[in-house]
Structure 1
Amino acid sequence: MPSLEEHGGGRSKELSAPKLRVDTPERAGLDPEETRLLVRDVVDLTAGDEPWAPGAVVVAGRGPVIAVREASGWAVRYSAYDPATDTGVELPVRARVPMTVDTPFDLASLTKLFTSVAAVQQIERGTLGIDARIGAYLPDFREAAAHDITVRQLLTHTSGLRPELPLYDCADDAARLELLRAEAPSGEPGAHGYGYGYSDLNMLLLQQLLERLTGRTLDILVREGITRPLGMTSTDFGPCPGAAATEDQRRPWAKADRGMLRGVVHDENAWALGGVAGHAGLFSTGQDLAVFCRTLLAGGSYGPARILGPDFVELLLTPPGLGFAVDQPWFMGELAGEGAVGHTGFTGTSLVIDPATDTFVVLLANTVHPVRRAPDSGPRALVGTRMAMAVR
């Protein structure tokens, strides 16, 4: 099998891309007034008694320049959630933990992007076919094999699999694995059958496939193939003790009784799977995610490292996107259009990459601290709109 150095996750003599540097909006070709308003809007999200999030970090830039890098609010503000009053139990100010630009976050579903890149790396190496049937690699996953689910269908959420399974209620790993093996799609897989249906199970099956194919666990594949070559030293699967706090996770509003969470994965299924899952489990910082964004905008290279060739980055980002969502105004705002791509995470995380303008924006927030609420992506869309205005 080709080495990491030959096919992603290593160095390339042919391809090199400038590394990120912090500079002014003007040097990045951005409107300084719009970037100032972007920062103001993010600060406002964390203000008051009932903020959108207790704390947030925004990192945005164009080309190799980071023009916005700001933290606001608290990484830890509450000790618990009080269901009787439907409010958080606030810590004394001296006991709270301020948010900083280096605070790690539970990325939640942004993990799917890294799983997708790991899969496309195998496609580039020729060890995995994008239209290959899952049954060829995982014959013991009976229903996926019987319905001819393909790698492409997992990556584009057209497999017909339901959004999730209660793996957190299973007695042990063997029971969890059997539940996945026996899961049948709700309809005929493929764009001409069931069509699009967002599902964590797609990435869990993809994780199983990648681990079976390579003989390495997903955390090692991500570390060796993506984060280590790119110098993303603050990105890894948990535990991550210094991370922003998430939820006081208790039934009936959650699916497990775990108390206030900090530095351990929020997603109940990822937790049940030991913290390493294809759909959730990674922790990272705004700076590291800026490197990830810049790498994709530069065709898969960052400095002397290359994790994908340009053609395979194009495959990853071309509509409908492999793992990435394409042109979704509900969280991208006015950045949506002409092929902007990105993703959101349940804990309050998001990133958007716009190849047309060579821009990116990362918004990390702990919106589920101290308890999950009805999703509100309006602030994410506002940040995307501010960034689009800054380009204009």
Structure 2
Amino acid sequence: MEALPEGERPWCAGAVVTAGTSAGPLTEGAFGWAVRYAAYDRELPRAQWVPTQAGTVFDLASLTKLFTAIVAVGSLERGEVALDAPVAAYAPECTAAADHGITVRQLLTHRSGLIPELPLYEYDGDEARWARLYAEPPATPPGAARRYSDLNLLLMQRVLERATGGSLADLVHDRVTGPLGMASTRFRPPGSWLPRIAATEDQRRPWGKLDRGMLRGVVHDENAYALGGVAGHAGLFSTAADLAALCRALLAGGGPVLSPASVDLMLAAPGLGFEVDQPWFMGELAGAGAAGHTGFTGTSLVLDRARDCYLILLATTVHPRRRPGDSAPRAAAATALARALG
């Protein structure tokens, strides 16, 4: 095995990029390696590197939030939840949300006042982990300011599960990935998928929050892992082609997943679960209502309805270990697309 100095590491070990319109793909490419490192400081023997391919499956990280949001907006259509209803109307066990009057809209727009995250992985058992989340009060008054938080989508998961009687995994499958034929998108991918899954991180302290070694086919996010691999904020695995199918459906009005009115509600500023007009990762696609999200593992998705286009970048920026975030390549790809479309 060969050591590689930190300064010589590329932005990502491997990536798949695809762009298109509501009518179909415009361009796509796969670059680099889905698996390259044996540990945080060692490469595998060159013969064991696994090339990234168009069908490589990536840990989506926070792109999972988009699916939770789509399920939530679909539940609004069905009358299962109401946007300005209190969280406690559906999940009274969310005691802090009940005490402070946090609403569904505030969860989806990151205006609940909750802090970004909690170390749920430090608690033993799901009951203790969820109880810790339920008891967390907002740090600022709900509705007063936007503060991005994983906790919002975790609580949204619980609202949806209580309101519908189904698990989040089933809701995502039955209401999003199933209708769109996204057969390579799911929580907790089976072992048969492993040969086409990109590795993420050699997760260990001090940079990680748990000591788990090199991860491949198991969710990277520590809280999602502690919660069994299914969480409102992280946990989904997918391919660029599957995400492109979702993007085309949303650009074309949402069918068969959402109505056009629901797509408008979800993607218009300030966005429900989606970030809107963020140049730091959308580059020159931002400015006319582009919506999307990024994920900690190196993923990003941008929908630009004004130009009728999408951009998906799935990368492995945490392989073999995390480092300070850098979204310049995401923004550069988005800018290149914007200029190509004119």
TM-score tier after normalising by the smaller chain length: over 0.9
- Choose the corresponding residue for 1:77, options 36, 59, 65: 36
Residue number in structure 2 paired with 1:275? 229
Cα RMSD for the two superposed structures: 1.0
Q: Does 1:296 align with 2:250?
A: yes
Q: Does 1:339 align with 2:289?
A: yes
Unaligned runs of 5+ in 1: 1-47, 83-88
C-alpha displacement at 1:65, in angstroms?
2.4
Q: Does 1:63 align with 2:17?
A: no
Secondary structure at the residue paired with 2:179?
helix
C-alpha displacement at 1:294, in angstroms?
0.7
CA distance in 2, matches of 1:136, 1:213: 9
Query: Residues 259-288 of structure 1, C-alpha deviation per residue, up to 9 Å, x if partnerless?
Result: 000010000000000000000000000000
Q: Which amino acid aligns with 2:167?
A: T
Secondary structure at the residue paired with 2:16?
strand
Secondary structure at the residue paired with 2:269?
coil
CA distance in 2, matches of 1:328, 1:181: 30
CA distance in 2, matches of 1:268, 1:107: 14
Residue number in structure 2 paired with 1:211? 161
Q: Does 1:54 align with 2:13?
A: yes
**How does 1:1-392 map onto structure 2 within 5 Å?**
49-82=8-41, 89-190=42-143, 193=144, 195-239=145-189, 240-241=193-194, 242-301=196-255, 306-392=256-342
Residue number in structure 2 paired with 1:18? none
Q: Which amino acid aligns with 1:115?
A: T
C-alpha displacement at 1:49, in angstroms?
4.1
C-alpha displacement at 1:142, in angstroms?
1.0
C-alpha displacement at 1:172, in angstroms?
1.0
Secondary structure at the residue paired with 2:270?
coil
Q: Which amino acid aligns with 1:381?
A: A
CA distance in 2, matches of 1:131, 1:165: 25
Secondary structure at the residue paired with 2:178?
helix
Q: Which amino acid aligns with 2:273?
A: G
Asked whether the equivalents of residues 22 and 247 of structure 2 are also in contact (C-alpha less than 8 Å), the reply is: no
C-alpha displacement at 1:62, in angstroms?
2.2
CA distance in 2, matches of 1:321, 1:177: 26
Unaligned runs of 5+ in 2: 1-6
Secondary structure at the residue paired with 2:54?
coil
C-alpha displacement at 1:252, in angstroms?
1.1
Secondary structure at the residue paired with 2:281?
helix
Q: Which amino acid aligns with 1:364?
A: L
Which aligned segments of 4 or more residues in structure 1 are displaced greater than 4 angstroms?
none
C-alpha displacement at 1:64, in angstroms?
1.1
Q: Which amino acid aligns with 1:112?
A: K
Secondary structure at the residue paired with 1:216?
coil
CA distance in 1, matches of 2:93, 2:232: 19
Q: Which amino acid aligns with 1:189?
A: P
Residue number in structure 2 paired with 1:27? none
Secondary structure at the residue paired with 2:302?
strand
CA distance in 1, matches of 2:275, 2:135: 28
Secondary structure at the residue paired with 1:175?
helix
Q: Which amino acid aligns with 1:265?
A: V
CA distance in 1, matches of 2:152, 2:20: 31
CA distance in 1, matches of 2:89, 2:113: 19
TM-score w.r.t. length of structure 1: 0.84
Asked whether the equivalents of residues 22 and 249 of structure 2 are also in contact (C-alpha less than 8 Å), the reply is: no
Secondary structure at the residue paired with 2:131?
helix
Residue number in structure 2 paired with 1:33? none
TM-score w.r.t. length of structure 2: 0.96
- The total of aligned residue pairs comes to 332
Q: Which amino acid aligns with 1:321?
A: G
Asked whether the equivalents of residues 311 and 334 of structure 2 are also in contact (C-alpha less than 8 Å), the reply is: yes
Residue number in structure 2 paired with 1:22? none
